[in-house]
Each structure stands twice: as structure tokens, then as C-alpha cells.
Amino acid sequence: MSASADIVAVPEYITDEFFGLQDRWVQTAPGELTHYHELGEGTPILFLHGSGTGVTAAANWWLNLPALSQVGRCIAIDSIGYGQTVVADGTPYGIRQWVEHAVRTLDALGIEKTWIVGNSLGGWLAFQFAIDHPDRLLGIVSMGTGGARLTGALKGHSNPVLTREGVRDTLELFVVDKSLVTEQLVDLRYQAALNDTATDRLAEVVAARDRDRTELPLDFEALAQLDIPVLLIHGVQDNVIPVSRTWDLLNAVPHADAHIFSQCGHWSQVERASEFNDVVARFLLERDIRDDSSPTRRGTS
């Protein structure tokens, strides 16, 4: 294959105006073009989404990026296998593959160290990132951290139904306040699940995620060695990942704090968006996120 064949043309795609976010693209590997959104300046904050049907960076973080861009350089990516990110033929999926994609994105953007804010699967990735690349990480904010044993509601989450009603059922599983699951949001998530770059990958990425619950669960002995600030966020009524998951992590990670939302499900960044943004911003600012005395870039973005 020639070098020119490895260069991917930017797709003709525009994120729906509902989300209020501009599209950006960066080549992260031969044949791989990463789709992302960026707001703000200063210390990098990488946002990693969850794994629900029709998930995208925009659909996970649209209520958070504008507020949190006031405290740092917010970068929200579509992980490989999700959203509009273009992958090379034969690209494998799994926890370490998603982590390495995040590293490639940081390298392509010239970022040496970053915070990670992760939701569900994204939180699982954040902690695996900390284990595999501790020198690249400033700290973690994780909500409803993924990787829990496949029981209860998780079994339904592992068999997504690719219909409009299936998407609605998934979104309603995420929240206590079902009024948040509007017709427009359901339509947008359903269309995202049907787009040409996502349709054939759904079963493959779900299978890879659930395989790694057994093959690559978080190493709690390694987590006990982490020397970074960590904030764990959870909704009491989370029907996807039980709140006990946060308690287990609190008992393992030396510098972890927690914030628990009442009357809140798995989607705390949406269901309690304003309070969520305040909690995360305060946590980051209290840890001198604006201190640029140490290098955070490898070059220019």
C-alpha cells in the first residue's frame, strides 16, 4: 500500500447543531482519522465517552464542554469503533486498543500530559491508561466507572437493539428523569448508530468490551500504586454500573475522592449537568490545573 493510500480524506459530516459543537479531525495512524471536538485553552483535559448505542463524543459531553472549557483545553474524541472516527481495515478493538488510540490522539495533537474525564467505558479506559502510561497522565475524573462484572442491567446493555425504540430503551436506562430522553435526542442517537461508519461495528465493539471484562479487568493492585488525583462520580440510582463500583475503587486508589448524586442514574454529566460541571471544575482548579510550570505539549497542535 502506498503512503498516499494511508491518508484519509475528511468525511463530509457536520455534527448536528443540537449539540453546538464544531467538528475537528486529526490523522492518528495510517488509514485512521480521529474525529473530535475542542474548546478552551491551557492544561489539556481529554474526554472519553461511554459505549451506549449511537454514542459519540458530542452526545456524551455537549452539556459539559462549554463550561469546563473555562478551566482547560477540552478535547473530546470519538474512540475507534464509535462515532465518526475513521479506522483502517482490520482495526482490532478492546480496552488496550482504545487506550492506545487515546495516546495516538495526544501524540498527534502534541500533548505530553493530560487529565482524563471518562464516562463508563471511558472511566475504565482512564484507569487502564493510568496503569499503562502513568507518565502521560495528570489525573482522572471518572463517572460510573466501567469494567464491572456482567450482571443484571449490564446484560441488557451488552445486547443493544439497533432500532429507534432500542436506542430509547438504552437512554432511559441511563437516567432517573426520563423526560431528558427527548424525541430529538433519540433520533440523533439512532441516526448516529446507523451512519455508514458505525453500523457494521456495533456488535464487534460491544463484544470486545465485554470480552475484556474477563480478559482485562482493572488490576486493583496496580491501581493501589497510583499517585495522581482521582475524582469518582456516581449516581445512586445507576442501573448500569452499581454505585458499589465506586466504593470498591475508593478502597483501592490512594488519592481518590468521590461525589455521589442522589436521584441520578448512569448519565450524571447529563442528568445533573450544572452541578456536575461545578464539581469537576472545582476539583480541577483546586489541583492547580492552570499551573503550566511543567510541559504539557510535545510540539504544536
For the chain, give every domain's residue range: 3-286
Query: Which 3 state secondary structure label does DSSP give 295?
Result: coil
Dist. CA 298–CA 110, nearest whole Å? 5
- pLDDT digits 0-9 by tens, 183-209: 999 999 888 887 645 556 788 898 999
* Short-list 299, 257, 287, CA closest to 138: 287
Is-catalytic flag, 120?
yes
Dist. CA 37–CA 15, nearest whole Å? 10
Is-catalytic flag, 266?
yes
User: 95, exposed or middle or buried, with CB in 10 Å at 0-12, 13-18, 19+?
Assistant: buried
- pLDDT digits 0-9 by tens, 131-146: 999 999 999 999 999 9
* Short-list 186, 188, 63, CA closest to 117: 63
Residue with cell 442491567: 153
Dist. CA 40–CA 273, nearest whole Å? 18
- pLDDT digits 0-9 by tens, 63-114: 999 999 999 999 999 999 999 999 999 999 999 999 999 999 999 999 999 9
The 10 Å CB-count burial string (b at 16+, else e) for 190-201 is bebbeeebbeeb
Of the spans 45-59, 148-162, 253-267, which averages the highest pLDDT?
253-267
pLDDT tier at 291, thresholds 50, 70, 90? very low
pLDDT at 2 over 50: no
Longest dimension (CA), the chain: 55
* Short-list 211, 273, 263, CA closest to 236: 263
Candidates 51, 120, 142, 268; catalytic one = 120
pLDDT tier at 151, thresholds 50, 70, 90? low
Is-catalytic flag, 234?
no
Candidates 49, 78, 238, 268; catalytic one = 238
C-alpha dist (Å) from residue 47 to 5, 141, 178, 265: 30, 9, 25, 19
Candidates 49, 79, 266, 268; catalytic one = 266
- The top-level CATH class assigned to 3-286 is alpha beta
pLDDT tier at 150, thresholds 50, 70, 90? low
Cα 211 versus chain centre, distance = 19
CB atoms within 10 A of CB 242: 19
